[in-house]
Structure 1
Amino acid sequence: MHVLINLLRNRNFVLVFAVVVGLVLGDFAANIKAYTTYVLAIVMTFSMTNIRTSSLLPLKALVKPMLVGMLLNYVIYATIMIGLAYFLIDDKDLFYGFVVIATTPPGVAIIPFSYILKGDVEYSIKGVLGAFICTVFLTPFAVGWITGNGGIASWDLFMLMVKTIVLPLIISRFLLLSKPFKLVDKIRGKVVDWGFALLIFIAVGLNRQVFFSEPLILLQIGLVLLLTHFGLGLVYEKIASLFKRNAVKVMSENLLLTIKSSGFAVVTAITLFGQKAAIPTAGLAIFVLLYLLFLSFRLELKSKKATQPE
């Protein structure tokens, strides 16, 4: 029983579990599809309590990391992903799913993993905030432009940004007050992990037939995600090392470049383009998890080598 409880508290297990349950019991996903926006809003609200208001001061120091966050998370990542998807993905709905991922805000997991992976936490917070602000204004127009306004209105997408980014950010400021934060701090991890897991379950469940019957599509999706996360992240690190960049900041920039909010992508894809467009977003959750695990294991291996006597 103790082992089971520990597993259910483990973020990696919970997300993998969501994928498995989606494949096995995916028929139930249609019953809760209508609640995805509300689930995401709750998850984002609790996630954003990781962004302390004091970390945003002084305002002058925000500008550079915010611009870096925007550049990495949108210009570079989006260009690579959309370019790869354009050449490798033939299905229009699946391509739209990648457009959604490319214009999705960074995952708030960047902040705790900046600490775990020895990055610059304050720099990451400011970069995440900059990318969030960029999302609210850029995404509605970018998605409409790239997809040719395929049945969507920029204003509707802008309102989705308000509901799932702006309002959660405002509400999270109140949750950081001393009294509510005592409870929030205790349950935040569980709410975020299980909320994202529910969204991944919905994305996988709605498309379970594709996972079983169309392996070629899954391979194409996997290739785009592999190159955009592992390939792009490792190439960026290599280029940064050639220019002898600060390793602490480079780690934060690596995360800002490669980690997207899979839950946000799921909800946006389903809301705008339907369930098939959510297939790449379900894959996104898996590849983000694998990449974070890879970075964690690599750091652990380096630490062990550094402590071994020569």
Structure 2
Amino acid sequence: MSTRRRIVDLIQNSTLVLTLSVLFGLVLPGPADATEALVTPALMIMMAFSLTEVDLGRDIKSSGSLQSGAIGILLNYGLLSGLILILSQSLPDGSLRNGFVIMAAVPPAVAVLPMTRILKGDMRFSLAGEILSYLASLLLMPLIIYLFSRQTGISPLYLLQISIVLILIPAFASRLVRMLPINPVLPINLGFFLVTYTVIGLNQGALWTDWRSVAWISIARTFAVGLAVLILARSAGLKSSQAISYTLLGSFKNLGLAAAVSLLLFGPAAGLPAAFCTLAETAFFIVLSFARSRYP
């Protein structure tokens, strides 16, 4: 196997890429000051490549119904966002609290679809939930940030502009990007590395001092909600594939987008919740993978 092939294989390993980004952020945080300016363009590229396989008109029709998408929105923006907002209100630090508000405002993780494939979930349900959640986020993201951030100086128009730049423009760009002979996993994982490294690096010192106040919320909003949705879905008699899709939409947020918006609006400290939740979501995905292999 050539050296180039080995490098490509390593980059396609999402778990390895996320792990390395955290380790580099902890051990070598210095360059994060320089990479901060690259977070927004990196996120736009990630979003564009993540949406290459999505055809809004065709996929909404083929993904079951609007009802499936509506359930996905309720799970992610109703259940998960609601819990994040409730838990974070107890935080005395305004930057950390605003970081969780941003997290509640962003749509589901772009990784929900590849995770659904890996875990043999219901792709039609996950796809419907993703598409409608991202459309709804154009309104919900600026609305939630404006209502809950407690920052009166932030213009709703500015928040809408951020939503357009980080969601709508990449959606249109994905129509052109899909024609490039590039495996989408490569730029997506490289973007994840840069964003995660930057957030960890900028907050390297705070990770050791503020971890107690953030870690328990990160674990609760990921593991508690995810496991509750999984157990309730299975108890209700749903197929395991449907339960997996429900669980993913109910426990995973677009943390790359959350980190980027937090940095733009409130500075590095507000990115700390996204950094911790990246670790929690990675661990939860490993748990789901193990459970899926034992209980197909």
TM value normalised by structure 2: 0.92
Q: 1:164 aligns with which of 127, 145, 166?
A: 166
Tell me which amino acid in the other structure corresponds to 1:35: L
Q: Does 1:22 align with 2:25?
A: yes
Aligned-residue offset at 1:57: 4.5
State which of 200, 224, 233 in structure 2 corresponds to 1:240.
Answer: 233
Quick one: distance in 1 between partners of 2:203 and 2:221?
Answer: 23
- For residue 246 of structure 1, report the CA deviation from its aligned partner: 3.2
SS at match of 1:108: coil
Q: Does 227-236 or 141-150 show the bigger shift?
A: 141-150
Q: Unaligned regions of 5+ residues in structure 2, if any?
A: none
**1:306 — aligned with what?**
none
- The DSSP-based 3-state class of the residue aligned with 2:231 is helix
Match of 2:68 in 1: 65
Picking from 239, 242, 249, the partner of 1:249 is 242
Bigger CA drift: 29-38 or 94-103?
A: 29-38
Residue in structure 2 matched with residue 204 of structure 1 by the alignment: 200
Alignment of 1:83-98 (within 5 A): 83-87=86-90, 89-98=91-100
Q: Percent identity?
A: 26
Query: Which ranges of 4 or more aligned residues in structure 1 deviate by more than 3 Å?
Result: 1-9, 52-55, 59-62
Map Cα deviations across residues 159-178 of structure 1 (whole Å, 9 max, x no partner).
111111111111212333xx
Q: Which aligned pairs between 1:161-240 and structure 2 lie closer than 5 A?
A: 161-176=163-178, 180-181=179-180, 183-184=181-182, 186=183, 188-212=184-208, 214=209, 217-240=210-233
| Structure 1 residue 278: Cα displacement | 0.3
Name the SS of the counterpart of 2:51 in structure 1: helix
Q: 1:59 to 1:162 in 2, by over 3 A?
A: farther
Q: Confirm or deny: 8 A CA contact 2:226 2:250 kept in the other structure.
A: yes
Q: 1:295 to 1:92 in 2, by over 3 A?
A: same
Q: Which residue pairs with 1:264 in the alignment?
A: 257
Q: Residue in 2 aligned with 1:81?
A: 84
Residues 133-180 of structure 1: per-residue CA shift (max 9 Å, x gap): 11111111111111233432111111111111111111212333xxx2
Q: Which residue of 2 aligns with 1:40?
A: 43
Contact persistence 1:55–1:125 (CA under 8 A): no
- In structure 2, the CA distance between the partners of 1:129 and 1:57, relative to structure 1 (3 Å rule), is closer
Distance in structure 1 (CA, Å) of the matches to 2:18 and 2:291: 21
Deviations 1:29-82 (A, max 9, x none): 111212221111001000111324575252894411221121111111111111
- Secondary structure of 1:127 counterpart: helix
Give the partner amino acid of 1:41. M
1:138 to 132, 137, 140: 140
Greater shift in the superposed pair: 195-204 or 65-74: 65-74
Q: TM-score, normalised by structure 1?
A: 0.88
Contact 1:199 1:266 in 2 (8 A): yes
The whole-number CA distance in structure 1 between the counterparts of 2:149 and 2:215 is 22
Which deviations, in whole Å up to 9, do the C-alpha atoms of 1:65-122 show, x marking residues without a partner? 22112111111111111111223x2211101101111111111111111111121102
d(CA) in 2 for partners of 1:283, 1:262: 10
Q: Distance in 2 between matches of 1:101 and 1:262?
A: 7
Q: How far, CA to CA, are the matches of 1:300 and 1:137 in structure 2? A: 38
- The alpha-carbon distance between structure 1 residues 122 and 295, as it changes in their structure 2 partners (threshold 3 A), is same
Distance 2:275 2:152 in 1: 22
| Range with bigger deviation, 141-150 or 50-59 | 50-59
Preserved contact between residue 144 and residue 152 of structure 1 (Cα < 8 Å): yes
| Number of equivalences | 293
Deviation sequence 1:166-207 (CA, Å, 0-9, x none): 11111212333xxx25x13x3x11110010110011111111
Which structure has the highest helix share of the two? 1
Task: Name the CA shift for 1:237/1:282 in 2 (closer, same or farther; >3 Å).
Answer: same
1:49 is paired with a residue whose SS is: coil
